[in-house]
Chain A
């Protein structure tokens, strides 16, 4: 259960440090959504945050992106405490942490063209691409970003509804990359996608991570997907982290009973090994030719 276990090859220094984070909601009946969470995310790694609905994983991501103020505790990014940095510094830090949400249908304005959707963060943060004079530069950068996520740079003047779920998620990723961030929070990035599309998006994310040296916080309820992408895993339940460790360790020798319960619940992609294996066995032995 030690958060200090390391992958020898990828033992980057901590990029993000959460310490004693707590978030309460509500007035009279206080609901503690995040309760004493301490966690490090190392440069270049994929840390998966797993847990069931209502466990506080989305609240935790909002705290680390500083979209919510914690009730207690601190968030440090690249050594700087986000509670004490100046407004200008916070803006600079925000450029370095971007988020990709689950639903590519609801996370982009249907009346904006692809080019404006992807360029929006650029325009917010970079005066050079604003206005008529910045337009050509913005389009050039958007073209590069679209190509980086495997889309055609020529789709800039089209609208989101013209694209499939997987393509839209690629547009979301392009938008998240616009400011050359170091950390991406991926909140259930493939949960709304078909399994074959999910596979291509996961491949893209892995490829981008290698090429750009990105650090990922990958939020998911799908343990089979996490098994595929994570270097380390943090298991969350009722606002608390019950277990943090190397992915291989968490999956093979889970320390906390809740982690075991979660793993046991995952359906197995093998009709001979699932719940009904015993039922099938006698029939198959009689059948086998």
Chain B
């Protein structure tokens, strides 16, 4: 067990538990025709079961590139994984074949993206899209998959799931679409959920509902959640631990209370200072 900061926090798991997902010294380059962007530089992160790790940063900080690396979703080329490892269940995900990764995606590790309109298939009923995940990963019959998908839609709070099952994404509001996305992510009962700006495109009241839903489902299923966000207020509301990224590097990480109370890094302090707040102008 390493002696780094993340093992002495207030998370609900025992202090010496192995992290479920561990990123070690990850470096990712984007090799463009005329230049090389060092998008991720020597980034190490870990998340345990039942815990939410928020990765916060501004555009170009490398937070999404880090998240996409876990499931090998950065476009290659131009992306090149230049160093490090991503450990899950004793495997280095960076060394797995596309086929092996395919078995992990959606089942062990699932992802939710910012914009459900571009992530859902516009020509397919939403229910079928939820059921499709199970088709990939289990030996379920179509009827069983349909039942499971209906249950998943119900679990994410979609009213009248049987009727919604046969609707297309464009017939749903942004909030309902994001719930469908979460249902597709969770129907395979993943142990790790990576949520990349899951509420950024949503209105504030809908954001509130979706964040509450994620926290509820996480507790229910004891999932590890990696939440990618640009919004420190969202971090304060949802995360157990936080890693602050700037220009491809983690500049600070630790328990949310520690980082908010005593930010050690200048960039973290500046980010906290410029984030507008409701209380006291």
B204, B256, B277: the one contacting A265 at CB < 8 Å is B204
B203, B208, B235, B275: the one contacting A53 at CB < 8 Å is B203
Instruction: Judge whether B68 is part of the interface by a CB distance below 8 angstroms.
Output: no
Instruction: Judge whether A87 is part of the interface by a CB distance below 8 angstroms.
Output: no
Known A-B contacts A275-B215, A276-B215, A284-B257; the reply to A224 vs B278 at CB < 8 A is yes
Question: How far does the alpha carbon of A143 sit from the alpha carbon of B275 in the complex, in Å?
Answer: 32
Known A-B contacts A221-B204, A228-B276; the reply to A276 vs B238 at CB < 8 A is yes
Interface string of B254-277 (1 = CB under 8 A from A): 001100100000000011101111
Q: Is B231 a contact partner of A267 (Cβ separation < 8 A)?
A: yes
Instruction: Judge whether A270 is part of the interface by a CB distance below 8 angstroms.
Output: yes
- Within the complex, the shortest CB–CB distance from A256 to chain B, in Å, comes to 14
Interface string of B159-202 (1 = CB under 8 A from A): 00000000000000010000000000000000000000000000
Question: How far does the alpha carbon of A199 sit from the alpha carbon of B211 in the complex, in Å?
Answer: 25
**Residues from 212 to 267 in B contacting A, C-beta threshold 8 Å:** 212, 215, 230-239, 256-257, 260
- Within the complex, the shortest CB–CB distance from A283 to chain B, in Å, comes to 4
Main secondary structure of the interface of B (DSSP, over half): helix
Instruction: Judge whether B207 is part of the interface by a CB distance below 8 angstroms.
Output: yes
Instruction: Judge whether A4 is part of the interface by a CB distance below 8 angstroms.
Output: no
A195, A198, A270, A284: the one contacting B10 at CB < 8 Å is A284
**Residues from 258 to 281 in A contacting B, C-beta threshold 8 Å:** 261-272, 274-276, 280
A222, A227, A267, A275, most chain B CB atoms within 10 A: A267
Question: How far does the alpha carbon of A53 sit from the alpha carbon of B114 in the complex, in Å?
Answer: 16
Q: Is B205 a contact partner of A223 (Cβ separation < 8 A)?
A: no
Instruction: Judge whether B58 is part of the interface by a CB distance below 8 angstroms.
Output: yes
Instruction: Judge whether A52 is part of the interface by a CB distance below 8 angstroms.
Output: yes
When distances are taken between beta carbons in the complex, the residues of chain B under 8 Å from A264 are: 208
When distances are taken between beta carbons in the complex, the residues of chain B under 8 Å from A284 are: 10, 257
Question: How far does the alpha carbon of A195 sit from the alpha carbon of B208 in the complex, in Å?
Answer: 20
Known A-B contacts A196-B58, A271-B257, A271-B260; the reply to A262 vs B232 at CB < 8 A is no
Instruction: Judge whether B143 is part of the interface by a CB distance below 8 angstroms.
Output: no
Question: How far does the alpha carbon of A73 sit from the alpha carbon of B238 in the complex, in Å?
Answer: 45
Question: How far does the alpha carbon of A287 sit from the alpha carbon of B12 in the complex, in Å?
Answer: 13
- Within the complex, the shortest CB–CB distance from A198 to chain B, in Å, comes to 7
Q: Is B260 a contact partner of A196 (Cβ separation < 8 A)?
A: no
Q: Is B10 a contact partner of A227 (Cβ separation < 8 A)?
A: no
A261, A275, A287: the one contacting B237 at CB < 8 Å is A275
- Within the complex, the shortest CB–CB distance from A76 to chain B, in Å, comes to 31
Q: Is A227 a contact partner of B277 (Cβ separation < 8 A)?
A: yes
Instruction: Judge whether B281 is part of the interface by a CB distance below 8 angstroms.
Output: yes
Interface string of A196-209 (1 = CB under 8 A from B): 10110000000000
Among all A-B residue pairs, the 8 with the closest Cβ atoms: A267-B233, A224-B276, A199-B274, A274-B237, A265-B208, A52-B203, A194-B58, A283-B10
* Residue contacts A-B, CB under 8 angstroms, 14 given: A53-B174, A194-B58, A195-B58, A195-B231, A195-B274, A198-B276, A228-B276, A262-B204, A265-B208, A267-B236, A268-B236, A270-B260, A274-B237, A283-B10
Q: A195-B58, A269-B275 are in contact. List 9 more A-B contacts (CB 8 A).
A: A198-B276, A221-B204, A262-B205, A266-B204, A267-B231, A267-B234, A268-B279, A274-B238, A275-B212
